Amino acid sequence: MRRLLARRMKFHLLGAFLVSLGCATLYKFGIAEPRKRAYAEFYKNYDPMKDFQAMEAAGVLECAPPK
């Protein structure tokens, strides 16, 4: 009965802090880091000319039709 608001506020303040920190951490290590790694991996050995020639051969480029 004593300090009803203080107790509730302490509990919820701590909880809110932990939950938001947890969400941020989960996002960083679940989504942001893998995405950064995926992009680094993709561009490590990326050859744009080879990609362009493949797309040209497939016929999807309107201004660069296949021979």
Partner 1 sequence: AGVVKAEDYTLPAYVDRRDVPLPEVAFVRELSAQQKALKEKEKAAWSALSTQEKVELYRIKFNETYAEMNKGTNEWKTILGGVLFFLGLTGVILIWQKHFMYGAIPHTFSEEWLSAQTKRMLDMRVNPVEGVSAQWDFDKNEWKK
Please identify, using beta-carbon distances, which residue of 11 and 39 lies nearer to partner 1.
Answer: 39
Please identify, using beta-carbon distances, which residue of 22 and 36 lies nearer to partner 1.
Answer: 36
Least Å distance, CB 63 to partner 1, is 14
| 45/27 Cα distance (integer angstroms) | 28
Q: Which residues of 6-36 are buried (b: 16+ CB within 10 A; e: fewer)?
A: eeeeeeeeeeeeeeeeeeeeeeeeeeeeeee
Least Å distance, CB 20 to partner 1, is 26
Please identify, using beta-carbon distances, which residue of 24 and 55 lies nearer to partner 1.
Answer: 55
